[in-house]
Chain A
Amino acid sequence: MKRAASPLYVAAILALCLPAAVSAQSWSDQAVDPAADHPEVPVSYEDDGRYYSEDDSPTFNIGDDGTVDWLTFSGFRRYHSECHVCHGPDGEGSSYAPRIKNSAVNMDYYAFVDTVVNGRQNGNSVMPHFGDNKNVMCYLDDIYVYLKARGMEAVPRGRPAKKATKSDLIAETENACMG
């Protein structure tokens, strides 16, 4: 006679598995299915050129003609200045660092921010902390929404062909941050 697993036993197994399931490795290794339900992705509202999902995390906005919002374009530029030397072109990962275009979808906004600000270490795989780097911190949302768009395959590899103009709010925020 087969013994049915007790609910308590199942819960314990789940609890054991959870920490492993949220390791940096699995964020990047876990494939993204763009067709699946991703509540953090669809635009819920706009604030002068910045787009947010229903849970108030920044997200990308791609027009019908492929025009990307300014933050997604800016994120492309900043990513390929600050991040690609480890994570490879277009968030695709490399022989050195994980495929973070998947991470940007698989981890929530706050976990993403925490990793960039404080860094992360997994053996000899080390993500530096960028908390005191204006070139990253002033463009954190930009990089995040760009990678999220890449992870969802909402923008192709390479430089976005068409972009929205930079809004006054975005310009003011950038200038205030960069000083």
Chain B
Amino acid sequence: MKKLFALTSGIALCAGMAAANEDLSKMMEDPGQWVIQTGDYKNQRYSKLDQINKDNVGDMQVAWTFSTGVLRGHEGSPLVIGDTMYLHTPFPNIVYALDLANDGKIKWKYEPKQDPEVIPVMCCDTVNRGVAYADGKIFLHQADTTVVALNAETGAVEWSVANGDASKGETNTATVMPVKDKILVGISGGEFGVRGSLTAYNISDGSLAWRAYSMGPDSDILMDPENTMNLGKPVGENSGTNTWEGDQWMIGGGTTWGWYSYDPELNLVYYGTGNPSTWNPAQRPGDNRWSMTIMARDADTGMAKWVYQMTPHDEWDYDGVNEMILTEQTIDGQERKLLTHFDRNGLGYTLDRVTGELLVAEKFDPAVNWTTGVVMDKESPEYGRPQVVAQYSTEQNGEDVNSTGICPAALGSKDQQPAAYSPNTELFYVPTNHVCMDYEPFRVSYTAGQPYVGATLAMYPAPESHGGMGNFIAWDGKKGEIKWSIPEQFSVWSGALATAGDVVFYGTLEGYLKAVDANTGDLLYKFKTPSGIIGNVMTYTYDDQQFVGILSGVGGWAGIGLAAGLANPNDGLGAVGGYAALSDYTALGGQLTVFKLPN
């Protein structure tokens, strides 16, 4: 039907839907614009711009700044579409359109009305990871799960739809991903017993196209028992219910608040699902599928092509939502379509993204100790499963027992802060946490719209290391090896950017924007912005000049956990309070800082 339409009225199609996202794909190839939060569909966060490069980045200066007017954790980044920059804020989720041709003058501002009751339902700050663009519309996914399509020229609301119900603890922090004639939308609330889902809405009018839950009956999870593959084998019937006790899957978690990537040739969308609810593993026996899972789904129908559960029966809150970075690399003389993922559980995975075959699973922080590694022998019944160290198993140690010295902590060796990949160096640049924990699960009862946690935890810097809480590393995804590692005093909670100028940018919680050499990791530039950085670095050009932009505004999990500093209860009283407190370095803020080379 579509073909016929295209053949008969090719000109009319240019204004239509399919063309709109051919536009978006084409726009992604223009390094002068930053048209999607992830840089491109591959989530590489790589820019071909090289005006700012490793030889001159040291001269970089601030070009202009903009205060967002909101003092909260600022995640994500602005977009640049043509001459306009689109900038979002945390709750109340204001969107600004700034005119780059007119010194950032505000073209329009949109501020939704949201019930403040949603604020405390958002575990860990009211962050938002930014707007998306397609078909002349800006898509805002608000804290209260309302998805709004705004006219990119005027800011007028074209349609809006409620993706969830905040009174049940369903909230949002993620951006959406436009693919063809749909946008893909996730949901948060794993700490409230929310059952996660990925939903596709039609870009034209916001109507629902499909929804794929993370657990539940086959018809809910959009899996074909015979054709959806798990490590080379069909998933079989009822795979989303038969590793749960009774109807626990209904409040099973597996939320989808991370990043999404897309391969247009395979027409597959990739994303990860979060932790199973509750944090007390004894209350939910079984593997709890498909929480903690890498999903590959057909973009048109939502049907799953393959799945891989990284952490069966989670015992530590190692959400699997971090970004899936798509690359083409040669392994054993063969060019392959790869997917690389740095999981909260501390393992860096490389898979064949066509089939879901597991190629590499290695620790990307040497401190990781909860597992001895993943079984790679395809003949083993344990194939693909991480082998759990009994000492660090909160399940085996049981309820009301404090398991100590587990690495990484619940915030993971890496959280949502996205890594970058440079095709030049074939290295991944990964912002990481270097934090360990004590974890004690206990019994909790479920109340709709109330936290459903069931564990207490204490976090502290990885023992017997450099004393800091983070590292910024370069990772070889083919070998599963760290190339170099930069110790950081605090967790690195900022998304990285790699460029053709062989520079890698990232931000720190103290507020520094840093530029390092892509090959060696040598520090080339740093500048202290007004507040801690948990946003993602982006770049664009205006008037043939390259700019680098970053949001400041400390907050998020990092701002909550590290504000007062961490204390290791196992170190004895002397050391308590001995670690750096983030509040000694930075305070709340909300600012965009844009850099350029001197004229």
Contact = CB atoms under 8 A, between A and B. Distances in A.
Contact of A158 (B116, B445, B458): B458
Contacts of B325: none
Interface stretch (B177-185, B264-272, B387-395, B566-574): B566-574
Interface string A78-94: 11111011101110111
Interface stretch (B13-21, B119-127, B196-204, B238-246): B119-127
Contacts of A34: none
A144 to B, nearest CB: 16
A31 B24 CA distance: 54
Contacts of A6: none
A124 B92 contact: yes
A96 B567 contact: no
Contacts of A161: 569
A121 B567 contact: no
Interface stretch (A21-29, A38-46, A57-65, A127-135): A127-135
B419 to A, nearest CB: 24
A95 B445 contact: no
A150 to B, nearest CB: 11
Contacts of A96: 72-73, 124-125, 555, 559-560
Interface in A78-117: 78-82, 84-86, 88-90, 92-97, 99
Given A130-B450, A132-B450, A133-B451, A86 B120 contact: yes
A52 interface: no
Contact of A77 (B72, B279, B456, B554): B456
Contact of A94 (B451, B559, B566, B577): B559
Interface residues of A, number: 40
Contacts of B458: 80, 89, 158-159
Contacts of A136: 450
18 contacts: A80-B456, A81-B453, A81-B454, A81-B455, A81-B456, A85-B453, A88-B563, A89-B459, A89-B564, A92-B563, A93-B563, A94-B559, A94-B560, A96-B73, A96-B555, A99-B564, A136-B450, A156-B573
Q: List the 6 closest A-B pairs by CB distance, nearest first.
A: A95-B559, A158-B569, A92-B564, A128-B120, A80-B456, A94-B560
Interface of B: 72-73, 91-92, 116-117, 119-121, 123-126, 191, 279, 402, 438, 440, 442-445, 447, 450-459, 554-555, 559-561, 563-564, 566-569, 573, 576-577, 582-583, 588
Given A76-B456, A81-B444, A128-B121, 15 more contacts: A85-B191, A88-B561, A88-B564, A89-B561, A94-B563, A95-B555, A95-B582, A121-B116, A124-B92, A127-B120, A132-B447, A133-B451, A159-B458, A178-B443, A178-B445
